[in-house]
Structure 1
């Protein structure tokens, strides 16, 4: 499965934020594609007609000068309410008075009025043509705070949502050495051990775990967690397998807090098979990676590699981790690239390997080869929606082909209407096209499908950024340059 890119703690590489923003600027503006940046030089005149104007304090009129001096004094005394009143009067006289807008934004932040602060600082960013780092950082800070607050409330009250069958199948296809995802037929004898040290077991339906496996084969995924729980509570012979399968589905529905205790138990079960414990380590390491805990992630991947050195999943998932955290270190980048090449050489039918390698190649601006890898991934998994999104983004970054990019992302939504990454990406592009209402609709769809609180916070930030731009357009007639 072509997974979403991981957001590293450093600002290098192609992180989640950079994929959403592409031009590398904070979330408030850049939501879109690299080629906007490439066109920006030729758009200077248009940007100015859309409001790129700086009004030096005191230069517009004597009134502005007096007002500016007054608000500076009030700001130094931390009289925030008075600062807001003073700046509001100045903005009434000149809605494009940058310094008054920015001073009011800072005062609003001090009073914890994040919504109005965001609107003011968004106006400032547009007026300054996104060139002032101070205002950009304030916008980004407020957006992240708003996103976290909204996600914290929404995520804890959300109904767990099972991903689409295609997403689940693609997820399991990213593992080549995962016992719990291997199908078997009723009545057949299966070599479990791989888990039971070579002991053959008759497949019956008396076990909750075996019933869960039957539901997996039938794609009846909603019943799997409850059947695994029956196996665990009865302390059946497949307790370790049931714990791992239950943890996996907890991860799939975005309940990492429920998944971790199950993964911890499997990892610490000395009588469980090496394959099960290594798989649990890989999944816990990937979970830590999503939570931006690189030290814990590294530790789990390394433990899995020592425990099961011939397990290809260790190297391919650790390769994804290394891609996310390489920074600007050329040797680390090369090590990650070598790891991906090794995976696709040893496992040429592993679509996930090609997809992750394509992401790494895109980071290195090897666009042609990345496109070939995505084509190979689509050939192996034609119904994997996420791959189409990545390929669509590549067309934007590589060829500046908006039409092809949108076509591929629309195809992803057609294949899987639960693909939150597709809605998110479509929203980012619509912001840059100036279609803010459509962008907000796309972001809201993605929010309802988010699989973690962190992911939901990121999406709320994007949505709030788009909404702030609609408010600024209404109040001041300001719009950033569009595609």
Structure 2
């Protein structure tokens, strides 16, 4: 089982890496929305801004009089736009030039040869959908024979014809390329500057930017690439080079914007281009999440979570809780209802005759839980331990158990672990605490310890219904569906009437469906309806099965029935939104269903995230970003905030691309 968990994690990460950047940028609402949520919270530091290294002074030394270029080399901004040549031709930088020295850049950037190479012809590569196999038939530039640049300084350039100026500019560029390939970057900069003064050209600016990169004057790289893009808006090499410079300067959002534009202009057809924005997106989102965590106040989750949604995902080798559910394919646990073994902690506390204040507070905890007053229950749990007048170690252990449970729900995993460890120190044989501690090991990817805790629980209580249910969930996650069915069956077999839970029956039906036993799954759902006639959850998950099978009409009936039975649950509304999108591509109705979900549960971050996805899909990016902002305020854990922030930052990058390159929006829609 351990190996399977790790395998599922690795495969999930690989699949995510292939599709996530394109998927996030498209922001299409689909059942794969949860996949992008789950990856490690990388703590990447920002690259320090690099110094000017005196190169600005060297560049400014070229400014003086306008006409005498031998004595004056005034850098002037190009005011006219050059038309890119129709042929798309690029040559890689000579091997002896070496890679760009850009501290902090990820190794993956080395694969972007467009960043490390200069243009050796006068033909601009505007969009890198140019054919790599296109033969480079352009004849060698005559200026390659130029060995001296004395003749490049005419007394009066204004008197020259445009043809002469262009010829001299090409000579200067060719000499600049020679110096560049000899790693004489300052001399190359001077020659590229001469070329620019003679005949401003996007290639000249971009080549000079490449030379500036090698002396780590990244501010000048940005400046020159910006000028190149003013002359040729779709110059891919300039966009890539400027993005790399922005990244070296620590301007990560600007870098992400440029890389996103590259992906859009290429129609998301160049896989190597998508790795850079993916990497930056994770770094930016991680940085934002870490800052947000410093001021984030703990909060109780939405009622839907506490009553019915506790999802475990295995991805990137880490098992985390995540509210962005991949429909029914991610198993759900009714968290507060999933621990139903008797005698329950509530029963033990209720029967306790101790009159201490801590015990009285503890009794109020379970009274509030019974009525779903979660915040009140949490406050009483904290009070019980603060009072600390326990005369019974069993009761004290229960107090730490329940406070640890609430710490888990509000996202304080470290505090939850501490409380459950204390509970087990006080009562080492409490199976409830052992199982909960096992799930917390899963939070930290300590899979072996999770298995050990379950084995420990089984030795103590081999017929414990909670053990079988939670172990079944882990097996479901590892795609061991038959093992999950066996555990669910054992849980049902050993439960007493008061221990019966609708969720274990639902999960068993879903596991059978995953095994391909459709008839058995249908039979089990019918049994669920009979055993739990008032359960809206049965119809909600039954609808998800139909939706997965593309039995859309039946799915809609089931979701409507679930809403009829419990109009306060946001889940069937969200499922209807997904259904209308996949079935009829009805964005308006899907959006309306998400808004209904938020009406019944304003704290449901699933609904906010789904709504934002729909708005992105309709290119309502400003509103989508606002909805993501709201989603962040109602999430509880860092990993959940990270997930939402990732989508928001991707939406912002898409907005930038759409505003700056509106003609490229069709590439996003059609890719």
User: Max radius of gyration: which structure?
Assistant: 2
Report whether the alignment pairs 1:243 with 2:400: yes
Deviation at 1:80, TM superposition (A): 2.7
Is the CA contact 1:35–1:396 (under 8 Å) kept in the aligned structure 2? no
Distance (Å, rounded) in 2 between the aligned partners of 1:90 and 1:308: 72
The answer (yes or no) to whether the contact 2:485–2:508 under 8 Å persists in 1 is: no
Counterparts of 2:585 and 2:491, CA distance in 1: 30
- TM normalised by structure 2 equals 0.56
Find the aligned partners of 2:26 and 2:215 in 1 and give their Cα distance: 35
Q: Using the alignment, how far apart are the partners of 1:31 and 1:323 within structure 2?
A: 28
Tell me if structure 2 keeps the 8 A contact 1:312–1:343. Answer: yes
Contact kept, 8 Å, 1:358 with 1:369, in 2: the verdict is no
One of 28, 34, 54 as aligned partner of 1:32: 28
**Aligned counterpart in structure 2 of residue 137 of structure 1, from 275, 284, 292:** 275
Please identify, of 223-232 and 135-144, the stretch whose mean Cα deviation from structure 2 is larger. Answer: 223-232
Correspondence for 1:443? 628
- Asked if the contact 1:361/1:369 (under 8 Å) is kept, the reply is no
RMSD: 4.2
CA distance in 2, matches of 1:417, 1:353: 29
Is the counterpart of residue 262 in structure 1 residue 447 in structure 2? no
Q: What's 1:228 paired with?
A: 381
> Which residue does the alignment assign to 1:472?
657
Q: CA deviation at 1:447?
A: 0.5
Structure with larger RCO (C-alpha < 8 A, sep 6+): 1
Distance 1:365 1:91 in 2: 59
State the partner residue of 2:290.
152
CA-to-aligned-CA distance 1:80-127 (integer Å, 9 cap, x gap): 333222221211112222221122112211222111011111111111
Q: Secondary structure at the match of 1:235?
A: coil
Give the number of equivalent residue pairs. Answer: 435
Q: Take 1:339 and 1:466, find their aligned partners in 2: how far apart are those partners?
A: 42
Cα drift, residue 423 of structure 1: 0.8
> Do the aligned partners of residues 468 and 398 (structure 1) sit closer, same or farther apart at CA in structure 2, a change above 3 Å counting?
same
Aligned to 1:354: 506
Shift, 1:393, TM fit: 3.6
- Tell whether the 8 Å contact from 1:436 to 1:467 is kept in structure 2 after alignment: yes
Report the counterpart of residue 252 of structure 1 in structure 2.
409
Distance 1:368 1:222 in 2: 32
Shift of 1:420: 0.8
2:535 matched residue in structure 1: none
Aligned pair in 2 of structure 1 residues 369, 108: CA closer, same or farther (>3 Å)? Answer: closer
- Compared CA separation, residues 241 and 54, structure 1 to 2 (3 A): farther
Q: Distance in 2 between matches of 1:439 and 1:103?
A: 30
The farther-off stretch of 200-209 and 371-380 is 371-380
Q: Is the 8 A contact 1:215 1:224 kept in 2?
A: yes
Which stretch shifts more, 59-68 or 363-372?
363-372
Counterparts in 2 of 1:79-118, with a 5 A limit?
79-118=217-256
Residue 176 of structure 1 corresponds to 340
The 5 Å alignment of 1:384-403 reads: 384-386=569-571, 388-390=573-575, 392-393=577-578, 396=581, 402=587
1:452 is displaced (CA, Å) by 0.7
Matched residue, 2:352: 201
* Deviation, structure 1 residue 360: 9.6
Runs of 5+ consecutive residues of structure 2 not aligned to the other structure: 1-7, 33-85, 91-118, 126-169, 171-200, 309-334, 519-541, 549-554
Aligned-partner Cα distance in 2 for 1:422–1:429: 11
Report the CA distance shift for 1:324/1:93 in structure 2 as closer, same or farther (over 3 A): farther
> Does the C-alpha gap of structure 1 residues 90 and 293 become closer, same or farther in structure 2, counting only changes over 3 Å?
farther
The answer to whether the 8 Å contact 1:340/1:353 transfers is yes
Q: Distance in 1 between matches of 2:283 and 2:13?
A: 24
Instruction: Tell me the CA shift for residue 305 of structure 1.
Output: 4.0
Asked if 2 retains the 8 angstrom alpha-carbon contact of 1:31 and 1:428, the reply is yes
Contact 2:22 2:268 survives alignment (8 Å): no
- Paired with 2:653 and 2:206, the residues of 1 have a C-alpha distance of 25
| 1:284 aligned onto 2:471 | no
2:668 corresponds to which residue?
A: 481
Unmatched segments (≥5 aa) in structure 1: 1-7, 37-52, 183-189, 327-331
C-alpha distance in 2, partners of 1:368/1:391? 9
- SS of the residue corresponding to residue 282 of structure 1 reads helix
Change (3 A) 1:278 1:131: farther
Q: Which residue of 2 aligns with 1:308?
A: 461
Counterparts in 2 of 1:303 and 1:351: CA distance versus 1, 3 Å = same
Contact 2:202 2:229 in 1 (8 A): no
